[in-house]
Structure 1
Amino acid sequence: MFRQYSNILSHRRRRSKSSVQVLSAAQSEPASDAPTANEPLEIWAHSQPLDAEAQKQNGCFTTLTARIHKYDHVSQRGSDRFMEDLAATLNDEEMKLKSSYLTSPVGNYASFLYPECIPERLEIVAYLTELGNFHDAEQKETARTADKPEELVESPRAAARKKLLEKVTGEMTDKDGLEIIDCYRSNWLVTPEVPTAENCANLDDYVARRRLNAGIDVYWTLMGFAHGTRLGKEDQAVVRDALDAAERTMFFTNDYYSWSKEKRESKKKRVANVILFLMQHQNMSEEDAKEKTKELILENEKEFVKRREALYQTHSDLAPKLRKWMEILGAALGGIHYWCTNAPRYAIPDTPEIETTEDEADTSSQEDDSDDEDDEAEVDGAVNGVQEDEDPDQEPLWTPLVNAEDHPAVDLDASPLLAPTNYTGSVAPNQVHVELLAALNTWLQVPTRPLSFIKQVIHDLHDSSQILANIEDQSPVLRQKTAAHLVFGPAQSINSAAYMFVRVAKTVNCLNCPGMLDGLLEELETHFIGQSWDLNWRYNLQCPTEQEYLAMVDKKSGSTFRMLVRLMQSASMEGSALDLEILTQLLGRWHQIRNEYLGLISGNNQRGFGEELDQGKISYAIVRCCNLDPAAKTIILGIFRQKPDGAALSTESKIQILELLHKTGALQATYDLVRQLGRDIMKNVSELEITAQETNPSLKALVKTLGDLPTPTQE
């Protein structure tokens, strides 16, 4: 099932001699007796630490630094696929709409539990973790039939769990795969006894039984597989002390944050929770038990760090991969804690808590609800000026024109909101950026799902920016078609463009790729700063220096290309090893000055004659001309000054300005600059091909095609 996904994650696979199998890709290192202590230790390659302030939010009190995998969206893809498969297996379409066990607003649980997971394995690891946590309270249900009064039958959910395990492990044939299968069958496909105050003599006994109940060995097996460092029996014996403290930390952390929800369930079934255990076994109050659990978490975090340091000191020749395992485990414990503080699955249900029997609870609940409704009614009455003695059945003060019961509810769609941007996209499609995205993906290898979202983001930003640019330029046409603001009105067009910025931010945020939202917002800010200088010079009829003009272009146009690259690198399975800063700067300058040049000359089938001059833009050719010839500057800015707002220049005025641009050599210089920028881009692409060890014919072909420009011959 996952074989197809392993083959889209790394561009290195294209240089391999054989196809990559999901469990043979990035083969796990052997048990740690092979490596020597002198090997270099590289721990953090695929994760990044959480911001200290962010980690403290929502009452998170862990002392360990949490880390999250850089490709959290891949973890979520594994969870989403699990929910799709589960819905299909149970024949329950509504299951697809439910949130998975691992999902949270701050990231997928697998991204915290396996922060250094080999990227190629992250999706299947998340899927397997979802599968492991898909528990029934009991795997057998009691069914009564006519001929058999009582018979144990397997529940549909238990059967689905087994079926999905067979499906996902069908391709697992190597040692790691077989070990995972054995762990699942012996730990998560059985129903161990729930540890309670009745069957546990003390806290240590509770933890020992909790190990079996939680199937913790499966986590360690998955963690070893995820990080490419499998722990053999001898390895586990070496790190056992530190591992014990880590397990206690995990159990107590889970119990602490799940208690608010589980205490309701404890009225109906046995619940494994240390808070309940302390309350029943040591006669503690709920508050005291919660405080004691918090102390246990902090004590065991401290004990884990202490035992880990002792391990390093006692075993000076400790294999580097074992040391790496221990460091990752510390980050995972902090990540689990942070995830628990934000996990929707621990949210307290909205239904009132049951304190007595079901019959009594129903009665008291109804009474409480009625009391609450009375209180709310009193408050509403006071606020709205309604006297307590008013008759609620008297004639209403207002009646609707139609009876709501006889007419369906009105649902206003988004068609007016999207109409201007849809229209703009159809008139001026964003071909350059789309082709560039596809070409850059030769190197960056962004997975299909985030790539499609990035493409949509670029489309939306292009359309919204084009609408705003036409309004700011007071341009009546776009690619020789009526501009959107003259079709739908300026107000609706501005509203549509503003909405697009909100939509792209929401889209990027949902991808959960670290650094992606920051990249979007930072480059949008830079774009608007650059645009502000362009508008400022045009409004005040000021001519900047050549250096000032190029700095403006780097912010205005360059930001669009930097944004595209930053979005792709944030979602790339290859990371951001390639330095594309120079390329994005060159592309930004080339794209804008090339468009300005085409807007000045005739014979261009996409633009009208002298379109840039109609808008009074201070283009590169104008900047060059005005800085070379003060007399020409006076004439050009004078013509712009007399041009009525929104009106086109006369043909005679356009010809006069173009003659000045030819006479000073500014138009030829613009043509030469565009050609030089094209050469510089081709040179930079060749250098990047060497660094990436991969040619990029698509990118070179794109540059070559766009570099074919008409010469500035004077008619």
Structure 2
Amino acid sequence: MATQTYPRRTNTVPTSLRLGTRHQSAIFQDASHSGPMPWPEPFQFSIPFSTKHLDGYFLTYQSRINTSTAEKETEVILRVHQEWFDRGGCQVRDGALSVDGGPVLSVVFPEAEPGRLLNLAAIVSIGYIHDDWASQELVCNRSNHGDKESSMKKFGVIINQMKSRAIAEMLENDSSLISVTQIFGAREIRSPESHDLHLVEFQGLDHYLETKHLTDTWSILPYVYDIKLPKDQLARYSDLIRLTSKLNTLIKDISSAERDWSSHISHNKLGIPVSAVYIMMQTQDVTIEQAKKLVERKCLDLEQQFLRLSWDLLDNTEPMIQEEAARYISALHYLLAGELSWHAGSNRYRIDPSDPFYPKPEYKLNDFLQDARVLANSVQVERSGYESRSNSPILSGIALGSSRSRSINGFRDGRANGFNEDLTAYESDAWLDQSARLSEEAVLKPFEYLSSQQSKKISSQVIQALDFWYNLPRRSLDIISSIVDMLHNSSSILDDMEETPSAKQGTPSAHMVFGTPQSVNTANYLFVKCLQEVQKLPHSLSAVEIFTDEMTNLNLGRGYNIHWAFRSTTPLERDYIQMVDGKTGSLFRLAARLMKAEATQNKDLNIDSLVTLMGRYFQIRDDHQSLSSTSQGDPSSLDEGKYSLGLIHSLNNSNPSEREQLENLLLLRSRRGNLFPEQKSLVVKILARTGSMGYTVKVMERLENEIERRLESVEATIIGAERNWTMRAIIEYLRAGRS
């Protein structure tokens, strides 16, 4: 594919295009406060991007393209796709490069700093391939790639290696990019239909937009534009960001309407596609073309709301930061214009009209269903990660919005089976019948709550890294991932109760929502479920032995942590290391040992010492960040009652007077459950005088070097294998996070 060229900006730009040639204050004075907010400075990197040739561009804002980055971004996109094919990947949909809309970042962020924008080009391009893989939209030839399960797993490993290498190199060059990599990590674990949204009967677009997880392209905007606004100021724009996300979501829904229907049928889903277009068809009884126009009208209404709110917010912004605020708000609007022009010019979300499930423009929703049922009897088509379009439940007579077997508060609704709800249990012979086991739905509520609050865990990333070496069967990998995830959440529930924090990162702890008894029971039940899962592994006998061994280590480690806190007993540093190896290292070792037992390659590769060091590093880093945040004003980090390396070092290396003060403060904390800000400030001062924070950093640096050395040693033992980029990305992420 030839690299597309884009016209360069000249030093002389027509005055009509240089909205920023007037002085910033004059812009705000002269502006009508009704139209688009002008860019508050001369354009440096972009030119207007004509949308006349784009069918479907309807916003009022003029789209622009960053000509300082467009060609280079295109080169990165092509290089990423070439690497994907060279590694054995198969055909993917059009990705970050839109045929008529340009490369996505250059269009969506037209005035972004070129260096910052290009830092993200590779990871964004890989992200589109990841989305195709996650949604099973890869177009594969069975004869070239084998069966679906093994191929999809292989593709996942390729994507993970490519993504991890990009992240590792980003963080090596600039550790401040950690916040950006966190955004991409969080994005991966979100799925618009993760909660069966395709079965929700939406009452209209407003209900849909309040329920669905909205797109979050805006979240990297402060980085690429180097926005210098205080956090409290950015927080004031939450309503504006919400409007941006709603508009972005509707733009994508319009452009992908036909593909959404075809994909919905081919993936055997009930209900209708989770899309504004189909919700409009359902609620307004209109054709797909009419529905798209109605959604466009909704977009224009939201755009006007965006404009009015933008000017209101700017009018109430302090003069000193007004220009920076105008940059941020205007950049949001350019983002929307860029998203629409990119989608309008991209083939990524379109399908060929010859597709057997291509929705005809004149069809209404019932016509789709009838036509699909007819086609299902005659069409046998395979695509999208080997998925077949036939035999879909929706084509098998399951009507839209049909009732299904449900459970109410954990008990199956007996009325569906003819049970007379007016009869008492005695009259219905319920006391004499054999009863079924209760549903676990209510018991798992604290677990599900905690899972919904957490971003992508390090433990899940470590499992992906280890699978690069061990290459587990898909089923074994899923079971082990589930076990480690449940144990992680079970430990978190218990830790929160034992350390008594009512909230973490502004979110109530599970026991503060569901109560302590329910949370304890859930944590215990998760251990039982994990044992059941372990027994499903092919090598179950050795797996059970590994599981009980590491669960012993985990509970002994937690037990000593509780013991020291309850008795206010300061452990020696070597005792603390043993505790960490049990409490934290056990989960890392459990994953490694179970995966080694199920490995299909490198079966003799023992990495227990490597993951044990990673467990130590992770725990020390976590505690260090907690104490560091205390010095920055966090009111709760010293209320947890646990002994960190910094506290242990300070207690063991302070003079008698300071040691007594620290011990008294820790004793008061155990009695009261928390410390006052002034008491925490005294703790931080003592830690500073004893050099304990610096000592912790030195320990972490030593661990980092040793982990990297052992990783290189492991990589060297595997002849012909490339570096484990996933593991390296984890190390770089942790290193950047602690600095």
After TM superposition, the score normalised by the length of structure 2 is 0.41
The structure whose Rg is larger is 1
